Amino acid sequence: MPTDLPYAADAEVSLSYDELEVLRLQYQKELAQSHVTVQTTFNYGWGLVKSPIRTHQVEGVRLLQEIFRTEPTRRRECLYYLALGHYKMGNFEEARRFNDLLLQKEPTNLQAQSLASLIEKAVAREGYVGMALAGGVAALGTLLVAGLIRRATRK
Amino acid sequence: MASSKGKSPAERSKGARAALDPLVTDPSASGPSKMELVSKAIFAPFSHKKSDSSRILSDLAPVIMTPRMMTATATASARPRTSINASGTSGSRMDFASLGRAPMRLTLGSRRITSRDLQIVEATEELLDAEVPEPEGVASDVSLLRGFNATIPSSEKNRTRRRQMRNVDTPRIGLKKLGMNARGLMQEGEEDHEGQSVVSEEDVVMVAQVDDRGKRKARRRGRESLSAAKTFGKEELARQTQEIVRDKENLHVRRSLINSDIVEITNKIKALDDIREKLELDLLKIQEDELELDDELEGVRERIEFEETSSRHQNVKATTHVPHVAPSRRRKGPVFLPSEHDELPPGVAFMTLESHNTPITAVDFSEPYGTLVSASQEDSQPRVWDLMTGSEIGRLRGHRGPVRCIQVEDNLCLTGADDGVVRLWDLRHVDEDDWEREGINGLSNVAEEDEERSYDGEFIEKPNGIRSSEPSEIGVADRDGSCLRLFEGHSKAVTALYFEDECLVTGASDKTLRQWDLSTGQCVMTMDILWAISHPQTALPGNGIPGHLVPGASAAAGTFAVPTPPAADGSWDMYQDFVGGVQFWGYGLVSGSGDGAVRMWDMRTGQAHRTLLGHTGPVTCLQFDEIHIASGSLDKSIRIWDVRSGGTFETLKYDHAVTALQFDSRKVVAAAGENGVKIYNRTTMQHSSLLTNGHTQPVERLRYMDRYMVSGGRDSTLKIWTL
């Protein structure tokens, strides 16, 4: 199967407000008619995921999950989009799990591979921040303790 | 640490106060100081001892914290830590990552965790568990992203750009402008094309060759550009070509998306249609159930009346020789079925009786789960079955030819056979032991019986024709135990019989109908069908007898024999039953005969007063109720006649000859030369066949009562059905 998936960079390019509005109106219209096509749902969901606003992203991921639930034939694709959505939201753990599942199905998928490395990088970055924080706290602690000890010994 | 620092000045002040005022009792002196407790509580997480922390908690708030709550809080504080460890498969790094994320959460107000957030994260497990099949159909052709790119508003951008370009630029571009443009002196306002060379017409044509749709557009543009004599430059045009190709691809994608949606909706509509159809059927079924209940109520009321009158007369009325029988064929009262029958799905054969070796020729039963009597070709001994157990009780021995017709009412059974004799049996006296004993005794016994019977036959043909019942019953009991009486008089095979109360009517291949008194065994009347044929009543002029079926006077001497049309499996028989069916009610008698006519007789006069013509083949079976007569024929149809007017009310066409039928106000059940039992729903006018676990060869005979049906087929088996 030819993979036709966007790279993670694509998710960072947000649509203009008008475009998103058009997609939203289309989705709302079909929702009112109680028959929403998969493509419309995806369009709106993906548009939302591309958006920089977090509430939009959450809603977008929710729509993608909806597609995942209702359309078994679209699940393979949705795995990637869900991974991407979670990645963008910073839920790296979820992103990694979705992406791993996709890689398990399609080990050669380039987009999935690149996303996997991106997730690893992001996790590592946060790990460093965390380590730095922990290190800082530890340093502060040792300083305080040292100060106390010195004070106690001086007394 | 901060508290430890703060502790020392507090203690110091306390000590100072104590020193200053020793008489004042310190409230905190009695127990551990508040400060101490707080400090302990703060250090508790580091001490890693649950008991400690809970004790501290209880110290802090001894009144509100019950022990159970304390343990709950203690464990709750311990739980998240373990779950974090468990969830992080990547180990410590994920921990650091979550730690690193924490300040971001604190600092950025926009990254507040909402319930939606939690919702989508919680759904992860469920989604990951779901099966991910290979994409198929439109999912494999058009990816979501492709569809996205094809349908988002910006996909139209290029087209609008081109249009704008054309429309804005076309008006009145003079030669001067053209020339300037050609020289590269003029910049197009909204676009970035740097047209240098003068476009030739060939370029436009090349664009137009892409395909039909493009051609039209291109041609239009060509016209415009020609009329305007405007040039865009080669690069711009090449770009536009590319754009158009891409737009066309997008259109293709959108078309396939819409097509798949249409297919999906079509499927949905079909599913909904199916559901509606099913609901409508349910509705009809409810209607039928209602009708059935009405009938049942009516039956119960009749029964009440009957029982009231019978109890009134019981003491007065003397018992008759032949036990009085309520005619089950017309009985409408409820038959209380064993409960397991209700649990069976309708239209299923739930029992198969296999013992016959030849196609079934006659079948009847007393009541659901009662006694069944069946006969087959080339077999003079009808078999008696217990329908409760499905086992053979015994056989009715005595006929000297295959049995053609059977009627069972409670414990009484009448059989008519090829030997022209009708026998009345008491089914209570048929049992297996009797049969086995006879079997052992062998042929000599049978021969003896035959002798006795022939003697009996002579006896019955005494001039007065009346046989006293008592000696014969004794004689019968000695001999067989089950045969109560013989009705002899027909010279050929008895093919149809019907009895009710004390009256019996038989039809035979000697082309006569006879009426008998059941209690005396006397032939009350003989009705000659041939006479009726040759003397048609003049009441209905124009009702000619179909000559091709009735071979005139010669038929009187000759034997009646018509080959049946082949059944579904191609098999056929020589049909020799001149009288296919008889039934009467009061004085009205209806017969169906080989000439294809349904005749209505008056049993007081013995005259046929009306003949219903329409069938083009011998009538094989008939039944009537208050309103209609239903007759089945070898002409592959069932006709339902109006009793009063004599007109055809309805004609049901089948693919093969009809050999048996039974109907009520709601349905017509027929054996029509196919393996399945045919049911015509008179309420919904729908045909259906019962096939589940059914016969493997065409059905020949059937009888039903309420929701219980017995059918016999050419495959020599009997099937018991639920309806």
Tokens 């032939």: give the residue.
B523
Average pLDDT, chain A: 87
Mean pLDDT of A84-108: 87
Residue of A7, A58, A68, A119 to mutate, interface with B, max B Cβ within 10 Å: A58
Mean pLDDT of B56-70: 48
Residue B76 gets the label, from left (phi > 0), alpha (psi -120 to 50) or beta, of alpha
Does the beta-carbon distance from B153 to A19 stay under 8 Å? Answer: yes
pLDDT over 50 at B418, yes or no: yes
Mean pLDDT of B649-670: 91
Q: Which of B88, B140, B132, B137 is nearest to A103 (CA)?
A: B132
Does the beta-carbon distance from A61 to B120 stay under 8 Å? Answer: yes
pLDDT band at B68 (very low <50, low <70, confident <90, very high): low
A99 chain-B contacts, CB cut-off 8 A: none
**Are B459 and B361 in a shared domain?**
yes
ipTM: 0.72
Residue B85: what pLDDT? 38
Instruction: Return d(Cα B3, Cα B603) in angstroms, integer.
Output: 121
- Cβ B160 vs Cβ B247: under 8 Å: no
Instruction: Return d(Cα B496, Cα B621) in angstroms, integer.
Output: 9
- Cβ A10 vs Cβ A4: under 8 Å: no
**Are B250 and B352 in a shared domain?**
no
**Are B685 and B635 in a shared domain?**
yes
pLDDT in tens, B554-589: 444 467 888 888 888 888 888 888 899 999 998 899
Q: Is B376 helix (H, G, I), strand (E, B) or coil?
A: strand
DSSP string, A96-143: HHHHHHHHHH-TT-HHHHHHHHHHHHHHHHHHHHHHHHHHHHHHHHHH
**Are B563 and B668 in a shared domain?**
yes
Residue B508 DSSP one-character state: E
CB-CB: which of B104, B110, B146 is closest to A4? Answer: B146
Tally the residues of chain A.
155
Residue of chain B whose Cα is closest to the Cα of A135: B96
The answer to the question of residue B379 being in a domain is yes
Mean pLDDT of B94-111: 55
The answer to the question of residue B333 being in a domain is no
Residue B23: what pLDDT? 44
Q: Which of A4-18, B68-82, B409-423, B575-589 has the lowest mean pLDDT?
A: B68-82
Per residue, what are the HEC states of B140-164?
HHCCHHHHHHHHCHHHHHHHHHHHH
Q: Among residues B300, B331, B359, which one ends one of the domains? A: B300
Largest distance between two CA atoms of chain A: 81
Residue A138: what pLDDT? 92
**Are B294 and B347 in a shared domain?**
no
Output B282 or B193, whichever has higher pLDDT: B282
pLDDT over 90 at B591, yes or no: yes
The answer to the question of residue B330 being in a domain is no
**Are B456 and B588 in a shared domain?**
yes
B623–chain A nearest CA distance, Å: 55
**Are B256 and B174 in a shared domain?**
yes
Provide the residue range defining the domain that includes B672. Answer: 339-538+556-722
pLDDT band at B431 (very low <50, low <70, confident <90, very high): low
Mean pLDDT of B359-375: 91
Q: CA gyration radius for chain B?
A: 49
Q: Which of B462, B480, B581 is nearest to B521 (CA)?
A: B462
pLDDT over 90 at B706, yes or no: no
- Cβ B572 vs Cβ B564: under 8 Å: yes
Mean pLDDT of B48-57: 48
Residue B481: what pLDDT? 65
pLDDT over 60 at B683, yes or no: yes
- Mention every residue, 6+ apart, whose C-beta is less than 8 A from residue B587: B602, B603, B604
Residue B110 DSSP one-character state: G
Output B348 or B95, whichever has higher pLDDT: B348
Residue B150: what pLDDT? 78
Output B222 or B371, whichever has higher pLDDT: B371
**Are B171 and B264 in a shared domain?**
yes
pLDDT in tens, A45-58: 999 988 888 888 89
Burial of B377 (0-12, 13-18, 19+ CB in 10 A): middle
Q: How far apart are the first and last CA of chain A?
A: 77
Q: Count of CB atoms within 10 A of residue B537's CB?
A: 15
Q: Which of B663, B667, B684, B688 is nearest to B676 (CA)?
A: B688
The answer to the question of residue B57 being in a domain is no
Tokens 């960079």: give the residue.
A9
Tokens coding B557: 């001497």
Residue of B94, B118, B132 to mutate, interface with A, max A Cβ within 10 Å: B132
pLDDT band at B415 (very low <50, low <70, confident <90, very high): very high
Q: Is A13 on the interface with B (CB under 8 A)?
A: no
CB-CB: which of A6, A69, A126 is closest to B145? Answer: A6
Residue B101 DSSP one-character state: H
pLDDT over 60 at B171, yes or no: no
pLDDT over 60 at B361, yes or no: yes
Does the beta-carbon distance from A98 to B124 stay under 8 Å? Answer: yes
pLDDT band at B718 (very low <50, low <70, confident <90, very high): very high
Instruction: Return d(Cα B618, Cα B628) in angstroms, integer.
Output: 19
Residue B686: what pLDDT? 84
B253 chain-A contacts, CB cut-off 8 A: none
B146 chain-A contacts, CB cut-off 8 A: 4
B712–chain A nearest CA distance, Å: 51
Residue B368: CATH number of its domain: 2.130.10.10
Instruction: Return d(Cα B473, Cα B321) in angstroms, integer.
Output: 10
Q: Which of A71-85, B16-30, B41-55, B161-175 has the lowest mean pLDDT?
A: B16-30
B116–chain A nearest CA distance, Å: 7
The answer to the question of residue B350 being in a domain is yes
Does the beta-carbon distance from B261 to A37 stay under 8 Å? Answer: yes
Ordered structural domains, chain A, with CATH: 8-122 (1.25.40.10)
B243–chain A nearest CA distance, Å: 20
Q: Is B644 helix (H, G, I), strand (E, B) or coil?
A: coil
Beta-bridged to residue B701, according to DSSP, are: B712
- Mention every residue, 6+ apart, whose C-beta is less than 8 A from residue B284: B681, B683, B684
Handedness of CA B118, B122, B123, B124 (dihedral sign): positive
pLDDT over 60 at B80, yes or no: no
pLDDT in tens, B258-304: 888 899 889 999 999 999 999 988 888 888 888 888 888 888 898 89
Does the beta-carbon distance from B96 to A127 stay under 8 Å? Answer: yes
pLDDT band at B208 (very low <50, low <70, confident <90, very high): very low
Residue of chain B whose Cα is closest to the Cα of A36: B261
pLDDT over 50 at B436, yes or no: no
A23 chain-B contacts, CB cut-off 8 A: 152-153
Residue B247: what pLDDT? 87
Q: Is A136 on the interface with B (CB under 8 A)?
A: no
Q: Which of B246-260, B539-553, B586-600, B614-628 has the lowest mean pLDDT?
A: B539-553
pLDDT band at B167 (very low <50, low <70, confident <90, very high): low
Residue B229: what pLDDT? 53
**Are B245 and B348 in a shared domain?**
no
Does the beta-carbon distance from B146 to A76 stay under 8 Å? Answer: no
Q: Among residues B300, B325, B355, which one ends one of the domains? A: B300
- Convert A75-100 to b/e letters by CB count within 10 Å (16 or more is b): bbbbbbbbbbbbbbbbbbbbbbbbbb
Residue B468: what pLDDT? 39
Instruction: Return d(Cα A151, Cα B12) in angstroms, integer.
Output: 17
Tokens coding B43: 């250090």
State which of B77-81, B544-548, B570-574 shows the largest mean pLDDT: B570-574
Residue B586: what pLDDT? 87
Instruction: Return d(Cα B1, Cα A144) in angstroms, integer.
Output: 8
pLDDT band at B439 (very low <50, low <70, confident <90, very high): very low
Q: Which of A16-25, A98-107, B213-222, B351-360 has the lowest mean pLDDT?
A: B213-222
Instruction: Return d(Cα B255, Cα A15) in angstroms, integer.
Output: 24
Q: Which of A8-17, A28-37, B455-464 has the lowest mean pLDDT?
A: B455-464
pLDDT band at B705 (very low <50, low <70, confident <90, very high): confident
CB-CB: which of B101, B134, B154 is closest to A126? Answer: B101
Cα–Cα distances in angstroms (integers) from residue B170 to residues A121, B18, B176, B189, B231, in the given order:
54, 103, 14, 13, 10
Q: How many interface pairs between A and B have CB atoms less than 8 angstroms apart?
A: 155
**Are B241 and B157 in a shared domain?**
yes
CB-CB: which of B100, B121, B152 is closest to A94? Answer: B121
Calculate helix-pair angle for B50-60, B67-87, nearest 10 degrees.
Answer: 140
Per residue, what are the HEC states of B465-490?
CCCCHHHHHHHHHHHCCCEEEEEECC
The answer to the question of residue B492 being in a domain is yes
Mean pLDDT of B113-127: 76
Question: What is the enclosing helix (H) or strand (E) of B607?
Answer: strand B607-612
Instruction: Return d(Cα B519, Cα B473) in angstroms, integer.
Output: 12
The answer to the question of residue B121 being in a domain is no
Does the beta-carbon distance from B135 to A1 stay under 8 Å? Answer: yes
DSSP string, B421-477: EEEEEEGGG--HHHHHHHHHH-HHHHHHHHHHHHHHHHHHTSTT----HHHHHHHHH
Amino acid in position B571: S
Output B87 or B312, whichever has higher pLDDT: B312
A113–chain B nearest CA distance, Å: 18
pLDDT over 80 at B512, yes or no: yes
- Mention every residue, 6+ apart, whose C-beta is less than 8 A from residue B513: B505, B506, B507, B526, B527, B529, B579, B582, B589, B591, B601
pLDDT band at B421 (very low <50, low <70, confident <90, very high): very high
Instruction: Return d(Cα B70, Cα B57) in angstroms, integer.
Output: 7
Tokens 């498969």: give the residue.
B89
Does the beta-carbon distance from B145 to A5 stay under 8 Å? Answer: yes
pLDDT in tens, A126-144: 888 888 889 999 999 999 9
Output B671 or B171, whichever has higher pLDDT: B671
**Are B361 and B261 in a shared domain?**
no
Does the beta-carbon distance from A131 to B133 stay under 8 Å? Answer: no
* Number of domains observed in the structure of chain B: 2
Q: Is A21 on the interface with B (CB under 8 A)?
A: no
Residue B506: what pLDDT? 94
**CA B223, chain centre distance (Å):** 65
Question: What is the enclosing helix (H) or strand (E) of B2?
Answer: helix B2-20
Does the beta-carbon distance from B136 to A18 stay under 8 Å? Answer: no
B153 chain-A contacts, CB cut-off 8 A: 18-19, 22-23
Provide the CB-side half-sphere exposure for B275 (13 A, CA): 6
Interface of A with B in 71-110 (CB under 8 A): 71-79, 81-82, 89-94, 97-98, 101, 105
The answer to the question of residue B696 being in a domain is yes
Q: Which of B512, B496, A34 is nearest to B504 (CA)?
A: B496
Does the beta-carbon distance from A74 to B135 stay under 8 Å? Answer: yes
Residue B330: what pLDDT? 45
Mean pLDDT of B449-469: 41
- Mention every residue, 6+ apart, whose C-beta is less than 8 A from residue B423: B396, B398, B399, B414, B415, B417, B483, B485, B486, B487
Q: Is B654 helix (H, G, I), strand (E, B) or coil?
A: coil
- Cβ B711 vs Cβ B347: under 8 Å: no
- Cβ B54 vs Cβ B70: under 8 Å: yes
Does the beta-carbon distance from B103 to A65 stay under 8 Å? Answer: no
pLDDT over 80 at B47, yes or no: no
Residue of chain B whose Cα is closest to the Cα of A129: B100
- Mention every residue, 6+ apart, whose C-beta is less than 8 A from residue B586: none
Tokens coding A147: 């100060």
- Cβ B296 vs Cβ B334: under 8 Å: yes
Average pLDDT, chain B: 71
pLDDT over 90 at B470, yes or no: no
**CA B318, chain centre distance (Å):** 52
Residue of B3, B96, B261 to mutate, interface with A, max A Cβ within 10 Å: B96
Q: Which of B348, B356, B405 is nearest to B385 (CA)?
A: B356
**Are B292 and B366 in a shared domain?**
no
- Cβ B682 vs Cβ B713: under 8 Å: no
Output B105 or A32, whichever has higher pLDDT: A32
Instruction: Return d(Cα B670, Cα B639) in angstroms, integer.
Output: 12
Beta-bridged to residue B412, according to DSSP, are: B409, B426
Does the beta-carbon distance from B153 to A127 stay under 8 Å? Answer: no
**CA B319, chain centre distance (Å):** 49
Mean pLDDT of A2-30: 82
Cα–Cα distances in angstroms (integers) from residue B193 to residues B187, B204, B210, B396, in the given order:
8, 17, 22, 108
B96 chain-A contacts, CB cut-off 8 A: 126-131, 134
Output B472 or B423, whichever has higher pLDDT: B423
Amino acid in position B99: L
- Cβ B640 vs Cβ B650: under 8 Å: yes
